[in-house]
Structure 1
Amino acid sequence: RGRAAQLAELDELLHRDDTGARIAVLSGTGGVGKTALAVHWAQRAPGEFPDGQLYLDLHGYGTVRPVEPG
């Protein structure tokens, strides 16, 4: 089962004609692939982010303690 439909929705959001900020929320239970989808989508379109991309895993869910602020 692929993620083509979800990737297409993210592509559509990125290429809207308006000039406002774009925010996408990926929701679901732990382990369904939200992070994998987001990282895969961002890696497909590096030219869309000329200032670069940053990914930071804060360990909010899982066996590793979450990163403390500060």
Structure 2
Amino acid sequence: MFGYLCSQRNSISKSMGLVTHGENICVYIDLGDSAEGWTASYVIDPSTGILISHHVQDGPKFHNKIKG
């Protein structure tokens, strides 16, 4: 199920998304607009549903990092 959700990340919303983070998933929410925005990210273990970490950082920095 989580693999499907991650594959559909671009269709969820412009301000929300899912990406894989190793064996975990990362749910992110963009706050604000473009260069002035921030991104809140939540890394979750899909086998247990437990939140592993939460970060808030500069939006463009976060998106550049996940693009690789």
Q: TM-score of the superposition, structure 1-length normalised?
A: 0.26
Structure showing the higher strand proportion among its residues:
2
Q: TM-score of the superposition, structure 2-length normalised?
A: 0.27
Which has more radius of gyration?
Answer: 1
